[in-house]
Amino acid sequence: MAVQNSHLQTLEDESIYILREVAAQFQNPALLFSGGKDSITMAHLAKKAFYPAKIPFTFLHVDTGHNFPETIEFRDAYIKKLGVKLEVRYVQDAIDQNKVKEESGKYASRNSLQTVTLLDAIEELGFDACLGGARRDEEKSRAKERIFSVRDDFGQWDAKKQRPELFQILNGKIEFGENVRAFPISNWTEEDIWSYILQENLELPSIYFAHKRRLVKRDGAFLALSDYLNLVDTDEIIEDVVRFRTVGDMTCTAALPSTANTVKLVLDENKASKHSERGARIDDQRSESALEQRKKDGYF
Amino acid sequence: MDLLRISTAGSVDDGKSTLIGRLLYDTDALTKEQEALIEKKTAEKGLADLDFSVITDGLIAEREQGITIDVAHIYFSTNKRKFIIADSPGHVEYTRNMVTGASNAEVSIILIDARKGLLEQSYRHFFISQLLRLHTVVFCINKMDLVDYSEDVFLKIAADIQRMTASFEHSNPNIEIIPISSLKGDNVVNHSSNTAWYQGETLNSVLHQIESEQDIVTAFRMDVQNVLHVQNNEFVDYRGYSGRVASGTITLGDEVMVYPSQKNAIVTEIRKDINLLENAATGDSVSISLDREIDISRGSIITKNNEAIPITEKSIKAKLVWLEEDQAAIGSKFLLQAGSKTVQVRLEQIHAIIPPENPSNLQEASSLKLNDIAITSLKLASPIFLDHYAVNKNNGAFILINPRTNNTCAVGFVE
């Protein structure tokens, strides 16, 4: 075993504690799994928390239909190896049922449409807790999120009604119909995640590493060329060697010109770049409070 | 690299957000997006100095009102240390957030406006850091630029701080006092020529020199979170008790005493994932197996046989901080939670309310209201096996849950 970094050890122990509390305090908890690095880390921690027993969570993926095919392929292979149950619910179904309306125009994205599908899935499958891989360092309104965040019947988040969280004591008491979003890796930073992936030798979808790809150059950013993207006249199609820093939808996740093709190189390059991780998320740049508004509506 | 958790407290307009922004800016810890946002907001407001508050004031309501209303967590690291800052608001009505922010911190930074000196709230902030027994308190005398970097002003406030800290008999934390200007950057990360009379360290170097908390508690305590039971080809009949070590150490072969069943057993396995360990210490999340089947489940606590025993009485004395709007009358019932242990309790007696700005001036009361700090007696439905907070922080604190709302309504410290 590699020599462990002491702060990573602390973070790991803390996350395992939280995952075990979720398993104990709730009847039917789900782990939200997107196939991204944060949910992969969370799944790995869940394996460690309960070994040799099985992971006591159902995995849930809200599939927008606009994911990178590499991520979906990875997701399925990973789930098979882990031996857990995966439920997938599709945003396309909500669109077909006229529950949500597909956005139009140049910046059309299915990102905010996920909320309806997520809330429907929680109700359909009866989850009383959902584990999310959100981190407080990602965005300003995330910085105020509790480890256990209570949502009402409508999945809504009220910043002013959050329970105070003291020490390591987690109060998961809820009424029937309410549910809790639990964030076991709240205190990890992006750098911690990559350092841990390196230490634990975790596998990731290939799009996290440098590869050659056809791209759309728009507003100074590079988007993956795909059928889901509404092209406009000013878009320029190019080919370059890039990697992705997050795995959101193909329509709103910008690529980074990079030759980093190993975990170590990605870690070094991120450290040197000083750009924020969500800087490449077009959906968050819509306004200063874009993510907070989505969270109030029930987004995870 | 180690991890240091800090809590910041200050009154409205003392410039906490600016201080944190300055700390991040001068240690080169901000992203390009954050730097661009600071410059944009500064230009929009037409300010002469950089407006750092946009970094920490996260929520829409805060931006509208220009104040911080909830605990925000900020992460940054240097080559030597990783920091987590819980930025707690300083209004009187948000004391609960300050206690919350400080509960996971080792160090508290208290901001004082150089023009105003110690305020009622400064006493409250210091009292809370003492209540939680944080080992280091750093006073930043901020806005020194607005008092012409006067040494006399600094010395007068420092003397007031020393008088205040001396009035607490039971604590002996490290106290640091630093003259700064977050807006101008004096003594935050870089030594300032404006305060040539100040020979001490900058805030940044103080934060790097603080020794992380040593584990002085020897008694082993671990709450059982889950019972892991596995029967398969590889594990014929595995039974592990999972938990995070709250204090002390445990070694293979140790004899343990489990509460509430009060049964003994010998530790036969300490496991973390696929790794089998010789021992485990404070903070480790492990699974422990024992040599015999005894009555043990979630909510049990494992202790070591030859060490100090936890409190076994059905009545405890505790300091409470009331955290919710609903008032509590004597006789009210609550659910007490500490780690994975829970028990029904009744508020038996309110001995006194402690005014944090003048702790020796105890007040009488028949009920508890938001932000009250009180000495109370609680009657437990059954013993919960906590320790005195002064002896063992990790097994000496608890929360009370209001059964009518499920809200966390109080935090308690066992006397």
Residue that is last in its domain, among B247, B272, B304: B304
Give the domain CATH number at A32.
3.40.50.620
Write out chain A residues lying below 8 Å of B34, CB-based. 276
Minimum CA–CA partner of B132 in chain A: A167
Establish if A80 belongs to a structural domain: yes
Q: For residue B406, give the nearest of A7, A12, A175 by CB distance.
A: A175
Q: Do A144 and B70 touch (CB under 8 A)?
A: yes
Same domain, A149 and A43: yes
Range scoring the smallest mean pLDDT among A226-240, B60-74, B162-176: B60-74
B31 with A173: Cβ contact below 8 A: no
Contacts of B169 (CB under 8 A, 6+ apart): none
pLDDT value of residue B7: 92
**Cα nearest neighbour of B229 on chain A:** A53
Nearest Cα residue in chain B from A292: B59
Residue B166, in any domain of the structure: yes
Q: Which residues of B touch A10 (CB under 8 A)?
A: 3, 283
Nearest-angstrom CA–CA distance, B86 and B10: 12
Domain identity same for A109 and A159: yes
Residue B243 lies in a domain: yes
B137 contacts: CB under 8 Å, gap ≥ 6: B107, B108, B109, B110, B126, B129, B165, B173, B174, B175, B176
Q: What is the pLDDT of residues B294-342, one digit of tens each?
A: 999 999 999 999 999 999 999 999 999 999 889 999 999 999 999 999 9
Does residue A288 belong to the interface with chain B, where contact is any CB pair within 8 Å? yes
**Would A129 be classed as within a structural domain?**
yes
Tokens 């010998």 correspond to what residue? B266
User: Residue B179, preceding bond cis, omega within 30 degrees?
Assistant: no
Let me know whether B296 and B175 are in one domain.
Answer: no
Domain count, chain A: 2
- Work out the percent of chain A whose per-residue pLDDT is above 70: 89
CB pair distance less than 8 Å for A52 and B238: yes
- Is there a single domain that holds both residue B182 and residue B268? no
Decide if A144 and B59 are in contact by the 8 Å CB cutoff.
yes
Chain-chain contact of B100 with A274 (C-beta, under 8 angstroms): no
- Tell whether B141 and B242 lie within a shared domain: no
Domain hosting residue B365, numbered range: 315-414
- Whether residue A167 and residue B34 make contact (CB cut-off 8 A), yes or no, is no
- A147 and A260 both lie in a single domain: no
Asked whether the beta carbons of residue A140 and residue B84 sit closer than 8 angstroms, the reply is no
B338-356 tens-digit pLDDT: 999 999 999 999 999 998 8
Look at residues B285, B304, B323 and tell me which one is the last residue of a structural domain: B304
Overall size of chain B counted in residues: 415
Same-domain pairing of A231 and A193: no
Q: Is B100's CB within 8 Å of A165's CB?
A: yes
Q: Are residues B108 and B180 in the same domain?
A: yes
The per-residue pLDDT for A267 is 95
In a domain, A210, yes or no: yes
CA distance B115 to B131: 27
Question: Residue A185 pLDDT > 50, yes or no?
Answer: yes
- pLDDT digits 0-9 by tens, A236-293: 999 999 999 988 889 888 899 999 999 999 999 998 887 777 655 555 554 545 555 6
Q: Which of B34, B232, B285 sits opposite A13 (nearest CB)?
A: B285
Do B290 and B391 share a domain, yes or no? no
Convert the pLDDT of each residue in B213-225 to its tens digit.
665 667 999 999 9
**What percent of chain A has pLDDT above 90?**
65
Q: How far is B72 from chain A (nearest CA, A)?
A: 5
Final residue before a domain boundary, out of B304, B330, B352:
B304
DSSP string, A95-144: HHTTSS----STT--STTTHHHHHHHHHHHHT-SEEE----TTS-TTGGG
Strongest mean pLDDT among A12-21, A134-143, B2-11, B102-111 = A12-21
For residue B67, is pLDDT > 60? no
CA distance A75 to chain B (A): 23
Q: Are B292 and B393 found together in one domain? A: no
Question: Which chain A residues are closer than 8 Å to B82 by Cβ?
Answer: 7
Compute the Cα dihedral for B185, A269, B57, B4 and give only its sign.
Answer: negative
Top residue of A128, A166, A189, A267 to mutate, by most chain B CBs within 10 Å, is A166
Q: Please check whether residue B214 lies inside any domain of the structure.
A: no
Looking at the fold, whether B35 and B113 belong to one and the same domain comes out as yes
CB contact under 8 A, A169 and B284: no
**A21 is in which domain, residue-wise?**
6-201+289-296
Q: Does A199 touch chain B (CB under 8 A)?
A: no
Instruction: Determine the distance in angstroms separating the CA of B249 from the nearest CA of chain A, rounded to an integer.
Output: 15
Interval A120-179: pLDDT, tens: 999 999 999 999 999 988 876 677 778 999 988 777 777 666 788 999 999 999 988 889
Q: Residue A2 has what pLDDT?
A: 37
Q: Are residues B58 and B188 in the same domain?
A: yes
Q: Are residues A155 and A23 in the same domain?
A: yes
Is the CB of B242 less than 8 angstroms away from the CB of A49? Answer: yes
Query: Is B246 among the domain residues?
Result: yes
Shortest distance between the Cα of B238 and any Cα of chain A, in A, equals: 8
Name which of A23, A51, A143 is nearest B74 (Cβ-Cβ).
A143
Calculate what percentage of chain B has a pLDDT beyond 90: 67
Q: Is the pLDDT of residue B239 over 90?
A: yes
pLDDT score, position B78: 86
Mean pLDDT across the stretch A26-54? 97
pLDDT value at position B118?
93
Considering only CB atoms, A13 lies closest to which of B244, B274, B340, namely B244
User: How many cross-chain Cβ pairs, A to B, lie less than 8 Å apart?
Assistant: 161
With 60 as the cut, is the pLDDT of residue A295 above it?
Answer: no
In a domain, A215, yes or no: yes
- In this structure, the answer to whether residues A106 and A244 fall within a common structural domain is no
Q: Do A275 and B33 touch (CB under 8 A)?
A: yes
Q: Are residues A161 and A45 in the same domain?
A: yes
Q: Is residue B364 situated within a structural domain?
A: yes
> CA-nearest residue of chain A to B233?
A52
Helix, strand, coil distribution of chain A in percent, nearest 5: 40, 20, 45
Q: Best of B52, B56, B57, B60 to disrupt the A interface by mutation (most A CBs within 10 Å)?
A: B60
A-chain residue closest to B236, CA distance: A52
| Contact: B273, A48; criterion CB under 8 Å | yes
Average pLDDT, chain B: 90
Number of domains observed in the structure of chain B:
3
The CATH code of the domain that includes B129 is: 3.40.50.300
User: Do residues B246 and B198 both lie within one domain?
Assistant: no
ipTM: 0.93
- With respect to residue B343, please indicate whether it lies within any of the assigned structural domains: yes
Query: Which pLDDT value is given to residue A3?
Result: 43
Q: Give the pLDDT confidence score for residue B76 in this predicted structure.
A: 85
Whether B72 and A49 lie within 8 Å, measured CB to CB: no
Does A30 reside within a domain? yes
Answer yes or no: is A1 within a domain. Answer: no
Q: Which residues of B touch A11 (CB under 8 A)?
A: 3
Residues A46 and A74 sit within 8 Å (Cβ to Cβ)? no
Residues A176 and A158 in one domain: yes
Regarding whether B247 and B100 lie in a shared domain, the answer is no
Cβ B75–A171 below 8 Å, yes or no? no
In terms of domains, do B402 and B268 share one?
A: no
Closest partner residue to A163 among B57, B243, B408, by Cβ? B408
pLDDT above 50 for B402: yes
pLDDT (mean) for A27-56: 97
Q: In this structure, is residue B269 part of a structural domain?
A: yes
In a domain? residue B119: yes
Together in a domain, A182 and A136: yes
Closest chain B residue to A158, measured at CA: B59
Are the C-beta atoms of B220 and B307 separated by less than 8 Å?
yes
- The 8-class DSSP code of residue B190 comes to B
- Residue of B83, B50, B53, B84 lying closest to B69 (CA atoms): B53
Give the type of residue at B235: F
Quote the pLDDT of residue B230.
97
A19 and A103 share one domain: yes
Task: Note whether A171 contacts B401, CB cutoff 8 Å.
Answer: yes
What are the residues facing B374 on neighbouring strands? B320, B353
Whether residues B150 and B66 share a domain: the answer is: yes
User: Which CATH number is B346's domain given?
Assistant: 2.40.30.10
Task: Tell me: do A65 and A130 sit in the same domain.
Answer: yes
A298 pLDDT more than 70:
no
Does residue A130 sit in the same domain as residue A218? no
